[in-house]
Structure 1
Amino acid sequence: MDCLNAFLSQPSALLQNINLENEMGTSNKPPKLLRMDDYPSWANKFKTYGQTLNYETWTTVEEDFIIPKNENGENYRLSQIADADKSLFLREKKMLNLFQQAIKAEIFQVLQHNGSCYSIWHALLNKDQGNPDMRKSKIALLKKEFDIFTQVKGESFAQLIERYCYLVNEMKRLKIDKLDYEYIDKLAGALPEE
């Protein structure tokens, strides 16, 4: 009963712990991708998690695994696969399991992939970056947003800095290069007179 009372008296602390576990992962589960907006930071955490857990398994993300086929072009049954290929197959399945644990079902369903870990990893990257036209549009929008960046009425200093940092990070992620003095001038110009 004391445990229930502790839970009911501090639900926000429990929610914070759950959110932290989803974001960072634990020794038993990988970090969770709940929104595509979180992909850039999630990808780094997931890569570190996967490599730390088992680097051999992580290689299935970097090299496409193709299930061996017989002379008729059909997949071999697991019992017919050579031991070396079985090892690769098992690594592929372990990493696929991690992806299924880590990626929210709604995101996983809309990814265009062939079922291999390699294709899932690249489908996530493509979904984040978009097609070339979409990327071009995003870049143009960010450049324009940077050009007109200023403090919004009623916005606190902390909110201004947070919005500015987000804008700069997005620009860097899409490889929009500005000189340091351009970043400094833009922020200085957006600050209130007082």
Structure 2
Amino acid sequence: MENLSAFVSQPSILLQNISLENEMRTSNKPPKLLRIEDYPSWADKFETYVQALNYDTWNAVEEEYIIPKKENGKNYILSQIVDADKDSFLKEKKILNLFQQSIKAEIFQLLQHNGSCYSIWQALLNKDRGNPDMRKSKIALLKKEFDIFTQVKGESFSKLIKRYCYLVNEMKRLKIDKPEYEYIDKLANALPEEWGTFILIQQSNPIAYARLILASFIEKLEAHDLELKKK
């Protein structure tokens, strides 16, 4: 079974329904952002991809650089840029090119930016966060989903874990803080009745159980699920 525990210890969310090519990008293709909802996970992959190509190039995203324009409003070309400015100019152009390859056109059209890589990156972040009212509503919805989380009829163990990891990562992304034991107890209570004995065994050692983190608890569940499948 695919080990999902690593996802819950990362800020990025667990992607669902994403193509293998987008998930396992090749060296000459940056990761694709096809939905704004996928921004957190895409942002991590995009940053890693750019830094792996040329770490210094990432400066174009972290520090704003405005490509100089002529009096008629058109951009200068490289041959017209002074030597001291060429490095920043090239970094900016490289990131802009990667943005154009990575971000779906429909998403790009909705971004409010001034054309710089820095402003595009910030616009994506703002688009993902939404306005304060939307953010407040989403936080309330996630809290409610957590409170009522349980297994759906006919749902497999692996799908239950995926759904739970997605929920937890969304909560962490929006800074909904809960102690680790609450995440563990909620998942334990969501498991079907046949898991009751296994959960009781885990809880029979209160000290060890209290020291568990969600990632290690999920690993234990996955190992037990494998044992059940062998029978």
| Code of the aligned partner of 2:142 | L
Give the direction of change, closer, same or farther, for the CA distance of 1:154–1:189 in structure 2 (3 Å limit). same
Contact 1:24–1:45 (Cα < 8 Å) also in 2: no
How many Å separate the matches in 2 of 1:28 and 1:188?
43
> Any gaps of 5 or more consecutive residues in structure 1?
1-17
Q: Is the 8 A contact 1:24 1:30 kept in 2?
A: no
1:91 aligns with 2:91: yes
TM-score normalised by length of structure 2: 0.69
Determine the structure 2 residue equivalent to 1:136: 136
Q: How does 1:43-122 map to 2 (within 5 A)?
A: 43-68=43-68, 77-78=76-77, 79-122=79-122
Structure 1 vs Structure 2 CA RMSD: 2.3
Structure 2 spans left out of the alignment, 5+ residues: 1-17, 195-231
What amino acid is the match of 1:55? Y
Contact 1:57 1:91 in 2 (8 A): yes
Distance 1:125 1:176 in 2: 18
CA distance in 1, matches of 2:83, 2:151: 63
Cα distance in 2 between the residues matched to 1:168 and 1:83: 49
Greater relative contact order (Cα < 8 A, sep 6+)? 2
Name the residue aligned to 1:160.
160
1:33–1:103 Cα contact (<8 Å) kept: yes
* Conservation of the 8 A alpha-carbon contact between 2:151 and 2:191: yes
| 77 and 185 in structure 1: CA distance in 2 versus 1, 3 angstrom threshold | closer
Where does residue 42 of structure 1 map in the other structure? 42
How far has the Cα of 1:75 moved from its partner? 6.8
1:147 alignment partner in structure 2: 147
Name the CA shift for 1:156/1:73 in 2 (closer, same or farther; >3 Å). Answer: same
User: For residue 185 of structure 1, what is the amino acid of its counterpart?
Assistant: D
Question: How many Å apart are 1:91 and its aligned residue?
Answer: 1.5
How high is the TM-score relative to the length of structure 1? 0.81
Residues 193 and 92 of structure 1: is their aligned pair in 2 closer, same or farther, counting only changes over 3 Å? same
Give the Cα separation in 2 of the matches to 1:166 and 1:136: 19
Structure 1 pair 187/77, CA: closer, same or farther in 2 (3 Å)? closer
Partner of 1:9: none
Distance 1:58 1:119 in 2: 14
Kindly state the Cα deviation for residue 44 of structure 1 after the two structures are TM-superposed: 0.8
Task: Specify the code of the residue in structure 1 equivalent to 2:187.
Answer: L
The letter for the 1-side match of 2:139 is: I
Cα distance, 1:140 vs. partner? 0.8
- Give 1:31 deviation, angstroms: 1.2
